[in-house]
Amino acid sequence: MSDLAAQVRELDAADPLRHFRDEFLIPPHAGGEQRYFVGNSLGLQPRAARSYVLEVMDKWANEAVEGHFTGDTAWMEYHRLVREPLARLVGARPDEVVAMNTLTVNLHLMLASFYRPDAQRPVVLMEAGAFPSDRHAVESQIRLHGLDPAECLVEVEADEPDGTLSDEAVAQAIATHGPRLALVLWPGVQYRTGQAFDLARIAALAHAQGAKCGFDLAHAVGNLPLALHDADADFAVWCHYKYLNAGPGAVAGCFVHERHGSAGLPRMAGWWGHEASTRFRMAPEFVPAVGAEGWQLSNPPVLAMAPLRASLEQFERAGGMTALRAKSEQLTGLLERLIHERLADTLQVVTPTEPRRRGCQLSLRVAGGRERGRALFEHLRDRGFLGDWREPDVIRISPVPLYNRYADVLELVEEVDRWRAG
């Protein structure tokens, strides 16, 4: 055994989170286990998720409609079972968060409330190359206001060699467009490059210009420590099927800062956003619940929320994001070091080197261009090393601290080395 292999084995043996891997179902490959690096796209299934779902199914079978009202997991209040652990995870107060809908639906709901353009301030500012769903949502909202996206959507172009954005470029864009800004919409982690941003700084810069500020945290929640309340974001939206391991198409999350929770903002209203104490009077007038719950439209999708309960319970037992981030930095740092030491002529790391500017994901380009990059991606997939591909030429590899091992990282690098050697 090489010295490096021995060191990696020691790291895994000493890992205080190592037992959590056993709580997940690892996809099989060739009689063994797949090396799974796609938690940034779909997290693995926690073993406990099945029992949480079956609990709902059994309650439905035995109680039917009465299940809304009975026991500690009554469906009427089911969304509140995830509220406090979710608030702790994103650094918010319990009444500032709610699990509901899916990410893009929640983004539309937030844009309806927080994008209120006028003749002086019609502009939404976002990064160039944003995830398409975000751009589609913003462009459609601009058109709904009778405005032209060509004039009212400003995209900040990358100014660093690998397609990332400097803090200075973001600040300059906000300052340049400040007098016309209605909203700054920014990612916590950019999906293609893996770059993380200083959310508190961006919110402060936007507010200094008189604009609202919201965040898409699809790649940040469960990946990075967050402090949404203290960062002073107006709103944030995210999904739970990536790092939160809540299953495909899982119910999403939403944050609304407490200063807006009872401010009477215009919104798309639904019955379940009505204050709970008078909801069943069935009055025609809408009285919104205080806090983020006032943006709910429909009653909670209980079956979809059950896996999220299982996941959040895991995060709590693991020690929250402080413990997970410590291991994440070590895992991703090991991957980066091995790439530089052994594969520098083959792989280019697009993601920023500084830990504060990234989560667990490294975005990689392969020397020789797209065709060769695609060949490596398919080679790895065929041999049980699963990352994901993002056009035009990026392989994303995300070592997740809850279930990835240091050995997984070393074995991935060794497999790329074998491919390079032919």
Residues 414 and 333 in one domain: yes
Residues 269 and 360 in one domain: no
In a domain, 176, yes or no: yes
Q: What is the distance of C-alpha 333 from the center of its chain? A: 21
- Which CA distances in Å does 410 have to 68, 131, 246, 268, 333? 49, 30, 28, 49, 12
State which amino acid sits at residue 182. Answer: A
Residues 379 and 394 in one domain: yes
Residues 180 and 196 in one domain: yes
Residue at which a domain ends, from 293, 316, 339: 316
What one-character-per-residue DSSP string does 82-131 give?
A: THHHHHHHHT--GGGEEE-S-HHHHHHHHHHHH----SS--EEEEETT--
Counted domains in the chain: 2
Residues 308 and 326 in one domain: no
- Tens digits of pLDDT across the chain (422 residues): 578 999 999 999 999 999 999 999 999 999 999 999 999 999 999 999 999 999 999 999 999 999 999 999 999 999 999 999 999 999 999 999 999 999 999 999 999 999 999 999 999 999 999 999 999 999 999 999 999 999 999 999 999 999 999 999 999 999 999 999 999 999 999 999 999 999 999 999 999 999 999 999 999 999 999 999 999 999 999 999 999 999 999 999 999 999 999 988 999 999 999 999 999 999 999 999 999 999 999 999 999 999 999 999 999 999 999 999 999 999 999 999 999 999 999 999 999 999 999 999 999 999 999 999 999 999 999 999 999 999 999 999 999 999 999 999 999 999 999 999 98
Return the CATH number at 365.
Answer: 3.90.1150.10
Residues 150 and 290 in one domain: yes
Question: Which pTM value belongs to this model?
Answer: 0.96
Report CA Rg, the chain.
22
Cβ proximity of 149 and 123 under 8 Å: no
The pair of structure tokens assigned to 355 is 């830990």
Residues 266 and 340 in one domain: no
User: What is the sign, positive or negative, of the torsion defined by CA atoms of 42, 417, 401, 13?
Assistant: positive
Phi and psi dihedrals of 168, rounded to 5?
A: -65, -40
In a domain, 255, yes or no: yes
